Amino acid sequence: MPELPEVEVVRSGLAPAVTGATILAVTVLDERALTRHDGGGADFESVLTGRVIQGAARRGKFLWMPLDTRAPGAPDEAIVGHLGMSGQLLLRAPGAAPERHERVRLDLSHPVHGEIAVVFADQRTFGSLAVDELVPTADGAPGGFGTDAASLPRQVAHIARDPLDPAFSDAAFRRALGRKASAVKRVLLDQTVVSGIGNIYADEALWAARIHPEAVARDLSSRTVGRLLAEIRQVLEKALAEGGTSFDSQYVNVNGQAGYFAHSLNAYGRTGEPCPRCGRPIVRVSFTNRSSHFCAHCQRMPR
């Protein structure tokens, strides 16, 4: 599933192409892409046609594109996107041939770039688009990356900030871990505690911080939590610089290009290969419906 770096790469690619663009037409080819929308395909099309997109924002793994106000007194709204396991948001020339697994297409007219299409393609149909009301942020800070407005979609309001967000609170994160009797990796994957981190980057950050994935979160010292946060940020920033992690053709940016961070992984997906730090083999163990990859020597379980 795409994590913070992959989604941020998509957001940053969309922003210049959609900001200030008018939606000329909306084509819904598969209503399964609208599972989070309160209405069917016809409603989605009618609500959006003629609206102006004001930007592209992100919190965690959610994207949204704020819209102009429909009428005086109407609520502020945005197009909300979640890529699920295989969703793609692609920029295409007007009239371009349909993409494989295309679900929704937005035809736009940009005041500078002219006409362009935003295509939502999704092989496994776990991703979604929706029009949702914007609500105030709980802390009064901007809703996420790419926006100065202290608001975010209602269906994103429960998602915590991510460690790269300027408004992220290290102190609150430490307090949250101090209340958790579960494994630290499980806490990192809890999007209500910290967002944007999935299986790949959790394994990479824990390896870098020399923390066993099953270590009890509340037993970690403040110093250890600080080291973990520093490594999380470094891993995410490096992945962003390399365009995210792509293991197959599903994880691409808005131009259909893959990321290269998979070549920089130290633990995830490297079962049996030598640990880059000590040379002992990376091990893989079952973790809920996923797997954890770590070095049993460098990341020892606390006694």
List residues with catalytic annotation.
Answer: 2-3, 61, 290
Instruction: Starting at the earlier edge strand, list the strands of the sheet with 151-153.
Output: 57-59, 62-66, 77-82, 128-136, 151-153
Cα separation, 191 vs 201, whole angstroms: 13
- Cβ atoms < 10 Å from Cβ of 279: 9
Torsion-angle region of 76 (φ positive above 0: left; ψ -120 to 50: alpha; else: beta): beta
* Four-residue CA torsion sign, 30, 35, 37, 39: positive
Q: Which residues contact 57 (CB under 8 A, 6 or more apart)?
A: 11, 63, 64, 65, 66, 78, 143, 144, 145, 146, 147, 152
180 is in an annotated binding site: yes
Tokens (6 digits) for 301: 């379980």
> Can you say which residues are annotated as belonging to the binding site?
101, 124, 180
> Can you say which residues are annotated as belonging to the binding site for DNA?
101, 124, 180
